[in-house]
Amino acid sequence: MTPLVLDGGRRQVTADPPVVLAPMAGVTNVPFRTLCRRYGGGLFVSEMVGARALIDAEEQGAIAAVQEEVAEGKYDDQRPTGREKRLLRAAFGPDEVQRSIQLYATEPAHLREGVAVLDRHDLVDHIDLNFGCPAPKVTRHGGGAALPWRTGLFFELVAAAVEAAGGRPVTVKVRKGIDDDHLTYRDAGRAARDAGAVAITLHGRTAEEAYAGHADWDSIATLVETVGDDMAVLGNGDIWAAEDALRMIDHTGCHGVVVGRGCLGRPWLFRDLQAALTGQPVPPPPGLTEVCAMLAEHGELLVAHMGELAGMRDIRKHVNWYLQGFAIGKAVRLRLRQVERLDELRSLLADLDEPAPMPAGAMQMRRGHTHGPKPVKLPHGWLASRDHRAPLAREAAAVVSGG
């Protein structure tokens, strides 16, 4: 399949094959992206960062220091401050030749200045804008998946990012809408196209659906028809295995796929996608021995990135995702979810070293968020108008990381 080229005029990034790692809070950090890139090509996006956090960090002189520590592999603070944690989400490893970041903002001025910070420090090559987060802490203030309801504000935000991006490609991610009675994705697609975005990702669920049920791939096909040939459309939702990506592309005509929960504990999914989208046979899934080796390597990368205490705390949430489907016993799983030292992780995984094959159907097992449907938290009177200019609550701009 044709590689996806995102061209902002002065810079471009390429996803070859046309696969994008979705930004996921607390997951898509430097170590996880490193591991995924070892298996296959694509575009690998950082965790979501608030534009306001970047502005504050520049004012406090913190950006250069943290970026240098990460680049040199010496960041080893056991208890980083909140500011440092946020900057780590915006950090890239020295081998990341395509630096993609996802930003969040609800005010055009904040977004413009946040993107300008990225431009001044030359921190990224591609900027993705989050208008798809369904987390109540975000939507209750009019942000995330709630914001495209205000079509004028949505357009202004995208245009502000494009204006300040220095010729870097700007893309957006949205959901179908707030709920089935308040769909926004077609208007958002047209507005993003007209504001200068080069691609739009559609997660085929509403904010109300959250992560429940099945993604509506028909809506992705509708968006492809809506925006025409002027902007790439990427499909997101229920890509658990390589064959799912092929089916989505065939069903919708989208230009590529965005993978989120499907790669949790399955970094080799990018190997499978590389094969499927280039017409090669998809390799058989790894067995328990190989999976344990990946889990151990993931832990080692985390420790190198953030120190042993923080790294082992981070790896705990990945344990069940990696080992899902394997019969290893509750006691071992519990011990793995309580690890405090890298040597302990290695020892526990070494005890599991046996050639057990991946169980049938394990790739399709749901991982990550599964909640929903549930009513969407919105500001008072939010649905009364789509384009009134009443300012959002100050708390909306205070969100600095993903939900």
Q: Give the confidence band of 69 by pLDDT, cuts at 50, 70, 90.
A: low
In angstroms, the CA 244 to CA 237 distance is: 10
> Are the CB atoms for 171 and 198 separated by under 8 Å?
yes
Provide mean pLDDT across the span 181-191.
98
pLDDT in tens, 297-307: 999 999 998 88
Distances 393 to 73, 379, 381 between C-alpha atoms, Å? 39, 8, 13
In angstroms, the CA 337 to CA 318 distance is: 9
> What's the pLDDT at 215?
97
Q: Pick the catalytic residue: 133, 254, 263, 292?
A: 133
Provide mean pLDDT across the span 302-322.
94
- With a cut of 90, say whether residue 59 has pLDDT above it: no
> What's the pLDDT at 77?
46
Percent of all residues in the chain with a pLDDT value above 90, rounded to a whole number: 78
List the end-to-end C-alpha distance of the chain, in Å, as a whole number.
Answer: 33
For residue 36, indicate whether it is catalytic: no
- With a cut of 50, say whether residue 402 has pLDDT above it: no
> What are φ and ψ of residue 282, in 5° steps?
-80, 125
> What's the pLDDT at 316?
97
Cis peptide before 355 (omega within 30 of 0): no
- Tokens 């979501």 belong to residue: 48
> What's the pLDDT at 366?
84
> What's the pLDDT at 387?
81
> Are the CB atoms for 40 and 47 separated by under 8 Å?
no
- With a cut of 80, say whether residue 398 has pLDDT above it: no
- Please choose, from the candidates 139, 131, 277, 135, the residue with its C-alpha nearest in 3D space to the C-alpha of residue 202: 131
- With a cut of 80, say whether residue 101 has pLDDT above it: yes
Higher pLDDT, 240 or 76: 240
> What's the pLDDT at 75?
52
Question: What structural domains does the chain harbor?
Answer: 4-284+370-397 (3.20.20.70), 288-357 (1.10.1200)
In angstroms, the CA 385 to CA 369 distance is: 31
In angstroms, the CA 300 to CA 311 distance is: 8
Kind plus residue range of the DSSP H or E element containing 5: strand 4-7
> What's the pLDDT at 82?
56
> What's the pLDDT at 200?
98
In angstroms, the CA 261 to CA 44 distance is: 14
Q: Give the confidence band of 195 by pLDDT, cuts at 50, 70, 90.
A: very high
- With a cut of 60, say whether residue 346 has pLDDT above it: yes
- With a cut of 60, say whether residue 383 has pLDDT above it: yes
- With a cut of 80, say whether residue 62 has pLDDT above it: no
- With a cut of 60, say whether residue 154 has pLDDT above it: yes
Provide mean pLDDT across the span 63-90.
59
- Tokens 């607390």 belong to residue: 26
Q: In sequence order, what DSSP letters do the residues of 126-192 get, joined into one string?
A: EEEEEE----HHHHTTT-GGGGGGSHHHHHHHHHHHHHHSTT--EEEEEESEEETTEE-HHHHHHHH
- Average pLDDT of every residue of the chain: 91
Give the Cβ contact number of residue 225 at 10 Å.
12
Provide mean pLDDT across the span 249-255.
98
Q: Give the confidence band of 60 by pLDDT, cuts at 50, 70, 90.
A: confident
